[in-house]
Amino acid sequence: MTQFKYQCTECHREFQRDDVTYLCPDCSKTYAPGMPLRGVLQALFDYDYVRAHFNPHAPDWDLFSAVEQQFYPEFPVGNTPFFQSTRLGGQLGFTNLRLKNDGLNPSGSLKDRASFLIVAEAIRKGIDTIVTASTGNAASALAAVCAAAGKQAVIFVPESAPKPKLVQIMLSGARIIPVKGTYDDAFRLSLEYTNAKGGLNRNTAYHPLTIEGKKTVGLEIFQQNGLRAPDVILVPVGDGVIISGVYKAFYDLHQAGLIQKLPKLICVQAEASNAIHRYITTGIYANAAHPATIADSISVAIPSNAHMARRAVNNTGGFSLTVSDAEILDAQALLASITGIFAEPSAAATVAGLLKCKQEQLLKADAQIVLLITGHGLKDVDAPMGGMTLPEAVLSIDEC
Ligand SMILES: *Cc1c(COP(=O)(O)O)cnc(C)c1O
Ligand SMILES: [Zn+2]
């Protein structure tokens, strides 16, 4: 591990690692539930030290970690497949398309990366209870990592979350508190809970190490791509923490002198859950009024990390787009039928986004493009089931 400080992403005030836990105490004074978080912190490393100690022939990724390895839970995450898909690329008109299949994390989503680092931090601090609000995947990830570490997870989740995610949470022995309401209601209740009863709050972006945890997917893409940054990465966006984490990976690599250019980050949102998209395209922030979408993991009215997500897109020369539920379901079927990868709707949104990029000629055909597949399709089988009918059962091959 390298020394780091926290820095407020708004006022740039710096804090020693153990002098703050969640948000910048100054900037968060203007925060109230119902708006994106204010004063989100980021970990700034001693980049001169990283530059001096990182050996490309034997990369030590620990140099980029904000928690010492000795505190890591016994729950390996990451190291998910990264590979070229000539078939999907050919179908969409791109010659250099790669997939990062993060649905193959132990609990089935990229959220394992954030939960892993938060539980490591809880182990470092000797905290036994970890609390989160979630649309489902952050919860099932936290429940799983807590099970492996012998910690108690307390989870606020909308009662409407897909059943497989609820089952994962329950089986892992977490305390589940279904909320009558949306993810945004669960977010508010979980903050009230930790304020009143303690425990470490894992809410996305609220705890800065969620961004650091998700960052590891960007570091892995760099590593698996032969220590090179791709040209473009498409990211499905709900709260805007995955895209901020991917940005932070390449920011760190740039600061450490390992890359010259940041990949363009493309924010993909669902049409109805488009608060960050509108913020990026108009510069004006407003909550999404009714963020109803089949892509439950990116259904958010009040994205907690809207400000950082917008900077991630703007600072990389990227852009933002939205896709409809019908486009997401078509893309989910296309991905499965052409690559064999069954992704949950939120993850398949990137495929729909790339199709839109093709139609509107937003990207060069030979650019090196990465689709971030964030969650496994078995997380929510009801979504694609709606459009399917099983063939009649047979008794003999005469009927085949
Ligand atoms: C959480 C999640 C997202 C969105 O990540 P944010 O950090 O909320 O923007 C996308 N896809 C899947 C599968 C997720 O679980
Ligand atoms: Zn501040």
Domain segments of the chain: what residues? 4-71, 82-108+208-385, 112-201
Give the pLDDT of residue 33. Answer: 87
The reply to whether domains 82-108+208-385 and 112-201 share a CATH topology is yes
- CB of 132 sitting under 6 A from ligand 1: no
CA distance 316 to 314: 5
Q: Which residues pair with 372 in a beta bridge?
A: 100
- CB of 147 sitting under 6 A from ligand 1: no
Q: What would be the CATH architecture of the domain defined by 82-108+208-385? A: 3-Layer(aba) Sandwich (3.40)
CA distance 157 to 101: 25
Helix or strand or coil: residue 194?
A: helix
- CB of 339 sitting under 6 A from ligand 1: no
Atom of ligand 1 nearest to the CA of 374: 13
Q: Which of 168, 137, 99 is nearest to 296 (CA)?
A: 137
Its pTM stands at 0.97
Separation of first and last alpha carbons in the chain = 61
Kindly indicate whether the domain formed by 112-201 is annotated with CATH number 3.40.50.1100: yes
Ligand nearest to the CA of 28: 2
Q: Which of 182, 133, 162 is nearest to 289 (CA)?
A: 182
Helix or strand or coil: residue 247?
A: helix
Three-point CA angle 4, 42, 375, nearest 5°: 115
CA distance 202 to 133: 8
Could you write out the DSSP letters of every residue in 319-378?
EEEEE-HHHHHHHHHHHHHHH---B-HHHHHHHHHHHHHHHTT-S-TTS-EEEEE-BBGG
Neighbours of ion ligand 2 (CB under 5 A): 8, 10-11, 24, 26-27, 39
Read off the DSSP letter of residue 71. G
Q: Residues 4-25: pLDDT tens digits?
A: 999 999 999 999 999 999 999 9
CA distance 342 to 333: 8
Give the pLDDT of residue 1. Answer: 77
The residue whose CA is least distant from atom 10 of ligand 1 is 236
C-beta separation of 208 from 43 below 8 A: yes
Alpha-carbon separation of residue 345 from 60, 140, 169 (angstroms)? 35, 17, 20
Q: Which residues pair with 200 in a beta bridge?
A: 130
Q: CA quadruple 214, 218, 219, 224: dihedral positive or negative?
A: positive
- CB of 242 sitting under 6 A from ligand 1: yes
Atom of ligand 1 nearest to the CA of 237: 9
Question: In the chain, which residues have pLDDT < 70?
Answer: none
- CB of 344 sitting under 6 A from ligand 1: yes
- CB of 297 sitting under 6 A from ligand 1: yes
Atom of ligand 1 nearest to the CA of 236: 10
The residue whose CA is least distant from atom 7 of ligand 1 is 241
CA distance 237 to 346: 8
110 Cα to the center of ligand 1, angstroms = 8
Ligand nearest to the CA of 269: 1
